[in-house]
Structure 1
Amino acid sequence: MPSIVGGVKINSVGTGGIVNIGDALYLSPKVTSKSYAGSGSFNTGDFLNTNNGLSNTNTLDNDLLEADNPVNT
């Protein structure tokens, strides 16, 4: 659907970032990454209380190329 966009100021765009103003059918990032972290690692906010007990993070990845990574295809 067409729209009217006013003034736009873009201070910076990181490597692999996408800037879209207007209509788009499909946007795909140009850079992907994989993050490993244990339980409760990515919590944000004030006054957190996490009780995890024993925790183990499996980082085993036998793939040479990721199937959903557009950089490797």
Structure 2
Amino acid sequence: MPAIVGAVKVINIGSSSIFHIGDVYKIKPYTLAKTFAGGGSFNSGDGIRIHLENAQTNIMDDDYVDQNFTASK
């Protein structure tokens, strides 16, 4: 049975978002990301003190595939 949709006003859609109106068979969003973080990163809490003298983050990555991803139809 078809969907009946009234007026829609879209203000903003993010780059990794899906906007859907009406009937759908399959919605399959995907994203791939690689994050580099040095010492003292991703800390949370009150009163955290981080002392790093000479911290370096090695971002040299020789492999070409980090996660296998194939888009299925």
The two structures have a TM-score, normalised by structure 1, of 0.47
For CA contacts below 8 A with separation 6 or more, give which structure has more relative contact order: 1
When normalised by structure 2's length, the TM-score is 0.47
- Greater Cα radius of gyration, structure 1 or 2: 2
